[in-house]
Structure formats: C-alpha cells, structure tokens
Homo-oligomer: A and B are copies of this chain.
C-alpha cells in the first residue's frame, strides 16, 4: 500500500480513457439524446410500445445508428461505432436499445449479410430510415438454443417457382420476435430449405408479414407474446405460417441458391458449416448485448454509489451526524468489488469491440480462424457481463433500500429490462459451453468428432490451440509473468505478474483436468456416450469461466498499460488489484485445494482486499463519475431529492 496519499485524479482524464476509441459516438449520444428519450415510469405496455416505436424513428442522425451499414446505402461501415451506439442507447432506455438492435442489427444486418445486391437495393434504405420495420424470425417456441433444429420448413415448388413456407406444429412457431406484435412489415424468416426432395439445412427468406394497412398477410398468423417482466417497449410476438407462398427471389441467397428448376447450389458444401458461417455477423449483436449490460451496470452503480455518499443511518460514537452508508465496510464490500469487476469488463469489452471492427470491417473475406476466436470471446464476455449486470443491479437495488424499489429511482427498470439479457442472444450456460468446446480443440483428436455434444462440433474444430495465447499487450504480460519468482513467499499479492500467473495457472490446470476426465470417460463410458461429456459439464463451465476471467484481467492490464495520465494509471492499477484479488478470493477454495495458495497467503489476500476497500472508498465518486453518464440520464428521484432532505434534517436537528 502506498505510504503517501495518491495524486488526485482529473475525472476528465479518466473519462477519456473509458470513452476509448469511439469517444465521438459516445459524445454524440450524450449531446443529442435529451430527456424526451428517457423511460416513462408507470406507463402501460401499449404506451411503452407506442413511445419506443415513435422514438426509434426520431433518433437524431448524428447518432450514427445506421453506422454498420455500407456507405452506399447511408451507413459508414463502422461496426465498432454501431456497437458502442448500442451501449449508449442502453443507458437511455433499454427497450429503445433492443428495438434498435432488432431493426438495424438483426433484421437489417441479416438482409445485408445474407442477401445480395437485389435485396440491398430494394430494401436497405427503407430499413435504415425506419420506413419499414422488420423482424428477425429465427427462434422458435421449441428451439432457441439449438436453433439449427428449428422446425419451420420452406419447400421449393419448381412449377410455381415459389417456396412453401410452413409451420408444421406449435413448437415451430416463431417466438419472442421483436417488432412482430405491433410494427413489423417484413420478416427475415429462418427455415429448413427443402428442394428436389432433399433438405439443405437452415436458410433465410425475406417474407412480408403485414400489408401496408397493417393487416397480417394471407396465411400469416401474428400473435403477441404478451406482457413481459421488462422491455415493455419491445413488441415481442409470434409468427406462424400456413403454407405461405414466398417468391424464389425472396430467398436471401448469398450462401445458398436455388435455381428456377429447383437445383440447389452453395459455395459451402457442409450444411452445418454453412449455417454457422451465415450466423457470423450475429456476433455483433452478442457483443452489443454484453456492452449494453455493462452500460446498465454502470448506471446502477452510479446511483448506488452517489446515494451512499448522501444517505446516512445509525449513529457513530463521537459523531454528530449518522454514518454515511459508504462508510460501512459491509457497504464497501458490496459496491467496490462490483465496481472493480465493471472496470475490468469495460476494458475487455473495448478490446472485443476493436477486434470485431478489425475482423469484420474491411471488404475482403473474413479470416475464418479469427472469426471463430471472436465468436468464442464474444460468447464468454456476453455471459460474464450479463450475469455481472444481474447480480450487480440486484445488489444496487438492495443497497438503496426501499427507495431502490420505487420506479422513480431508475433501478427497477434497469433490473426488469436487463433480466432477459442472460438468456437472449445466447443462453449464458450454452455460451460458456461453446467457449469450453473452443478451448478443447487442441485435444480434439482424442475424442473423435465430439458428436456427443451435438452439431456444433465443427465450430470447435476450427479453433486452434492458440486460445491460451494472450491477445493483448502480449509482450508486457509475458514479461510480467516470467518475472514472477518460483516461490510465492517472495512476491506480494499485489504483484501484477503474480496475479496474471495465478489466473493463467488456474485456467490451464482446470483445462488439463477436464481433458484428463474426458479421456478417462471416453474409455470407461463407451456404453453411455452422453455421460462422457455430461459428467464433466460443470467442470467444463468452470474452465470457460476461468478463461474469461484471465482474458478480462489481461485486457485490464493492457488498458492500464496504454493509459498515460499518471494519476489515472495509479487509480486504475489499484482497482485492478481489487479486481484480481477479489476473483482469487472468491475461488480461494479451489486454489487451496490445489495447493496454489497457502492458508496464510489466502488470509493475507482477504486482509489486503479490506485494506484496498479503505483506500478506494474516498474514490468511489470519482470511479462512477468516470462513466460520464449525463446527469439527466440518471433520471433518479433520490439523487435529486436526498441531498436537500438530509440538509433540512441536519439544520433542524442543529436548531433543536
């Protein structure tokens, strides 16, 4: 611990660091989205839908919501910018963020990525302008996670040169489809393509679902998913097709084509591989959802921290006024580690957004290896950020007591709206499983085709052993780790190299252990192939989480390394200590079990953490101010009213 007080941090410098590469996009949102775009507390579901639909078309052009689209149609091919735009919208109204994501990210994005020029020319401008609202109709009532198993069929009839789009039973119903229940005119519908009596896997068609008067098209049944826990402004609905005729040219045919006589052709022979290639651009949605969750987390922490610096309860010995909430160790234990993790994930997210921009930007074909790496990273960080959001927003609600339960204090909306983020754009448990599979690839040869884990095996085949390589600040981290002495006793727990090495050792040891158990299972459970993987499933999820932890720490370290302001660098460094040590503390059981920590060192870590809480407590306000959330966006009654209430009470008490 430093022996002198740290240099005061200039919040403007901290904000610059956090605003990062797309600071201009963030500024555009903060400057142009006024109170008109904020949530209306207590509105009905219908009112929310109407308001969000209207606001979607009123978003100022300066925001660049169509940034990801090709310049030719009014965009700027700025994928990173469009993801950051989602993060900013999330702090204004999460329903607005989701509906914008559906319209431009999923629906518009699918037309761009899966369609060809004739589709782009016919529809992109109207999609970007919001003249035509559209849906991304992939998920079905019966299949969400294993979406390759969807049951909607689309069968070509060469006689009419049309496809027959059909929902064979209720489980095949498209479900939870944003823009469906109220606004959608068109839908990108995913279905099993059948032609010439053969199935060719999942493809996508552009299908009108409502006419210009807003009535369902013939054969199209539109249902409403009904009231939800949150995201009231998003009109999630259900779509069923009763032998709906779809013209041949409405097949989005970039990756698969059907000739007039019904002959199928595709540049990619394998059905599964083609499907996952088609989904490649969906990674942006996953990255946006992770970033949006973190944006909401930052809002909740800003409220809880600022309230805790005003709100007082219970007297202290020798003190005139009651104790500030933030002065309680227990309160610091709730807020500070969550804030530290939020900072760590911020840098991981920034690194990921830059990677998406690099890998998917540009005009040439996407490097398949880097794309698979991106998908794995996006999956892991989406899971980490959304679970962190759920836990942290709940903690912030409780930290604000009864006030946190009133809609006017912002937290209820954040909680209700972000809840589903752990499920959509990929169920978190399934996503972590995807990450684990990716880490196993180096051992694939031992297990054959990994069929025991379903059709996603080919994804795992693509990822090479490189996953344990560092992706950020490689040489710096390599140096730090190499410099760690062999004996723990010789290095402080605040030594960055030691922390990185501990995270890395845990990931590697867990992975080795998982491989060993899978090998054993492959030889002893031949009669129960499902059990080979199932018996190790929890271990594999732990491997994935440990991997994400390590990647996150490395990103934080890289972010600090590129920070030039000395006071900001010093503060971030202490926050990074808190992050690393609370993660280690949380897993101390594992570390002790595996002899990687001694009991003495483990207890020392807890003492150092508590010391860090004391040291960082005075910086709580600075740390949330760094998020630069506009005052108006906080939209929170206690922040506006509690300071005066406390002053009036203090004045009254003094006058007594």
Task: Write the chain B residue with the least CB distance to A141.
Answer: B645
Interface bits A284-321 vs B (CB < 8 Å: 1, else 0): 00000000000000000000000000000111111100
A20 contacts the other chain (CB 8 A): no
Contact A423 B398 (CB under 8 A): yes
Contact B599 A594 (CB under 8 A): yes
Q: How many copies does the complex hold?
A: 2
Note all chain B residues with C-beta closer than 8 A to A424. Answer: 402
Note all chain B residues with C-beta closer than 8 A to A594. Answer: 599
Grouping DSSP codes into helix (H, G, I), strand (E, B) and loop, the A interface class, with mixed when no group exceeds half, is helix
Known contacts A314-B146, A530-B316; A176 and B402 CB within 8 A of each other: yes
Task: Write the chain B residue with the least CB distance to A226.
Answer: B408
Q: Say which one of A273-281, A325-333, A569-577 lies at the interface with B.
A: A325-333
Note all chain B residues with C-beta closer than 8 A to A169. Answer: 645, 648-649, 652
Q: How far is the CB of A211 from chain B (nearest CB, A)?
A: 28
CA distance A595 to B600 in the complex (A): 11
> Which residues in chain A, 585-622, are within 8 Å of chain B measured between CB atoms?
585, 587-589, 592-595, 599, 602-603, 610
> Which residues in chain A, 355-403, are within 8 Å of chain B measured between CB atoms?
390, 394, 397-398, 401-402
Q: How far is the CB of A525 from chain B (nearest CB, A)?
A: 11
A interface residues, tally (CB under 8 Å):
94
A444 contacts the other chain (CB 8 A): no
CA distance A314 to B589 in the complex (A): 33
Q: Say which one of A97-105, A239-247, A447-455 lies at the interface with B.
A: A447-455
Note all chain B residues with C-beta closer than 8 A to A151. Answer: 649, 652
Contact B144 A401 (CB under 8 A): yes
Q: Which of B144, B390, B394, B402 contacts A175 (CB under 8 A)?
A: B402
Contact B419 A405 (CB under 8 A): yes
Q: Which of B318, B416, B538 contacts A333 (CB under 8 A)?
A: B538
Task: Write the chain B residue with the least CB distance to A145.
Answer: B313
Contact B329 A537 (CB under 8 A): yes
Note all chain B residues with C-beta closer than 8 A to A228. Answer: 405-407, 412
A227 contacts the other chain (CB 8 A): yes
Known contacts A317-B451, A402-B175, A645-B141; A42 and B227 CB within 8 A of each other: yes
A-B residue pairs in contact (CB < 8 Å), sample of 5: A225-B406, A317-B529, A323-B530, A394-B419, A592-B592
Other A-B pairs beyond A229-B406, A398-B427, A588-B592, 9, CB < 8 Å: A143-B313, A171-B646, A227-B407, A328-B537, A329-B537, A330-B541, A397-B419, A416-B416, A585-B589
